[in-house]
Structure 1
Amino acid sequence: MNAPVLLTAGQPTGTSTLLAETAARRGLGHAVVTPETAARLAGRTLHWYGGPLAADRFLASAPGCDLALLEPHDAWLAELPREFTGRRVELTTLSDAWGSTRPQFVKPPSDKQFPAAVYADGSRLPTGGERIDPDTPVLVSEVVTFAWEYRLFVLDGALVTASRYARFGRLDVAALGADPHEPEVRAFAASFLAACAGSLPSATVVDVGLVQDPDSGVDRWAVVEANMPWFAHSYAADPDSVLDVVLRATGPLGSVSAHDRGFLRSRSGPDGTAARPVAG
């Protein structure tokens, strides 16, 4: 019987290389996507690690490919109680964000159509380009300072591995077990994951951080964002556990649970714009 295959995008990253090595050690196959990949791997169980644009292009070129991708809902962060976000967060459109006259943090919810950053006002936001139009969804939040930031890999509502990835916006990677805030990170993760049970796919990535409030002098833990496991750097997280999350978040449609079917990514047409549900 042929082993499942982990597909990775053509442009390798440190995480894709690490996951490919981990998959090989566990007896899975690995293939880098090329124009011939779909035909060569027809009938095999496929999983995916790579960007959403690369995934859309591959799936558009292989309409018969049985590969379902899970992702959090665009509105998840905006709908999370403020006790977990620590700030005002709104899901809106790029055209609405253009009208802002004050600094705000703006990011696409999942796809990376433009850089997530603090924009001094709406006039600094992009006004055109590939896959950008006035109706492009964006998350807009008030500006806060995250002193420490951590990436959590979550499976079935539980934290399975994590890594610190930044301090004061600068890359600073360390395994969670080597970080002084490990107990606080785990406690906060358990709290918000219990509170938002059912609002996330069974396999997901959530970034959290410690917010510094210069006015009150009181630091607080907050959710930064939720991400697709199949497009998330692993940093210093355990690669075997990361691969477990990626394998659950990508794979045959028939293996997707009833709960997770509510988090299926839509497939795009060859031009990358005409979407249709993966579930058909």
Structure 2
Amino acid sequence: MTGDPGVLLTSAQQTSTTALLARAAAGRGMDVTVSTAPEAIDAVAGRAVHWYGGPRAAAQAADRAGFALLEPADDWLVRLPGEYTRRRIELTTLSEAWEITRPVFVKPPSDKSLPAAVYADGSRLPRGGDGIGPGTAVLVSEVVTFAAEYRLFVLDGEVAAASRYAVYGRLDTAPLGDGTRDADALRFARRLLGAVAGTLPSAVTVDVGLVQDPDTGAEHWAVVEANMPWFSHSYCAEPGRVLDTVLRAAGPRDLVSSHDLGFVRTAAATV
């Protein structure tokens, strides 16, 4: 429909970010619909539908509503030069991670299919459960301490919105201000994004943090991870700019650019 501002479709599990984005979308004249049932999704099919919510609910709605989901490649973090990660990271399977005999940090590349945490050894990792199995992809990293962590909503290679979200591993949110650490985080982000141009979707979240060297105490900026804006908390980032990123990252399939086609989440990945 010409002139239709579109629809923000959200999962039934509502969060503080869902509420902020819904308010921002409504302020632009968009309709906001909760995907509580197939009938709710069918009611908006044929319009410009965008998504915010979890991947499992997205898998049930994407084809019916006609939207595509962008996500970074599973091995993006592994392929970064060491100057941007400051730790050893490998992409492997859950079954291989079970054999690890040292403390490690383990997380899925994008989904929240198992808890991202430090595990004393591989035997502490889940052996099965809803949505995971021996072949589940996991990122395994040496254990490091992040003095501060920041979430960046990136649109077309530029930071559109940002927020601090943790200090020494504990949730501690704050909007970016004039502090030296905030400015350094953005400076590192600009250098990183220039170095990795073309390797990420046009809309993505990138978390960066200040790593402390356990031996020298020196601090270095490093990438924590990259994720999907349509499943990322906004924390204290400006909701309107977060929404801009979300709309690009999860929107009508026929509007996906040639660059972003390589980052469209497949049906197999959403199950």
TM-score over 0.5 for the pair: yes
Q: Aligned-pair distance for 1:57?
A: 2.5
The share of aligned pairs that are identical, in percent, is 60
Match status 1:230 vs 2:230? yes
1:203, 1:249 within 8 Å by CA — same for their partners in 2? Answer: yes
Residues 141-160 of structure 1 mapped to structure 2, 5 A cutoff: 141-160=141-160
TM-score relative to the length of structure 2: 0.96
Using the alignment, how far apart are the partners of 2:16 and 2:33 within structure 1? 16
1:103, 1:118 within 8 Å by CA — same for their partners in 2? Answer: yes
2:44, 2:65 within 8 Å by CA — same for their partners in 1? Answer: no
2:5, 2:28 within 8 Å by CA — same for their partners in 1? Answer: no
Q: Aligned-pair distance for 1:223?
A: 0.3
1:164, 1:179 within 8 Å by CA — same for their partners in 2? Answer: no
Q: Aligned-pair distance for 1:58?
A: 2.5
Q: Aligned-pair distance for 1:11?
A: 1.3
Q: Which amino acid aligns with 1:252?
A: P
Deviations 1:171-199 (A, max 9, x none): 11111125441220111001110111111
Using the alignment, how far apart are the partners of 2:161 and 2:179 within structure 1? 13
Report what 2:51 is aligned to.
48
1:206, 1:225 within 8 Å by CA — same for their partners in 2? Answer: yes
The structure 1 residue matched to 2:30, chosen from 14, 23, 28, is 28
Residues 1-280 of structure 1 mapped to structure 2, 5 A cutoff: 1-35=3-37, 36-59=39-62, 63-177=63-177, 179-268=179-268, 273=271
Q: Which amino acid aligns with 1:159?
A: V
> What is the DSSP-based 3-state SS (H/G/I as helix, E as strand, rest coil) of the residue aligned with 1:248?
helix
Using the alignment, how far apart are the partners of 2:233 and 2:251 within structure 1? 19
1:118, 1:143 within 8 Å by CA — same for their partners in 2? Answer: yes
Deviations 1:2-38 (A, max 9, x none): 3300011101100000000000011111000022112
Using the alignment, how far apart are the partners of 2:215 and 2:36 within structure 1? 53
1:56, 1:268 within 8 Å by CA — same for their partners in 2? Answer: no
Using the alignment, how far apart are the partners of 1:202 and 1:212 within structure 2? 30
Q: Which amino acid aligns with 1:24?
A: A
Q: Aligned-pair distance for 1:65?
A: 2.9
Listed as ranges, the gaps of 5+ residues in structure 1 are: 274-280
Listed as ranges, the gaps of 5+ residues in structure 2 are: none
Q: Aligned-pair distance for 1:268?
A: 4.7
How many residues of Structure 1 are paired with residues of Structure 2 in the alignment? 268
Q: Which amino acid aligns with 1:45?
A: A
Using the alignment, how far apart are the partners of 1:205 and 1:55 within structure 2? 18
2:152, 2:161 within 8 Å by CA — same for their partners in 1? Answer: yes
Q: What do you get for the CA RMSD once the two structures are aligned? A: 1.3
TM-score relative to the length of structure 1: 0.93
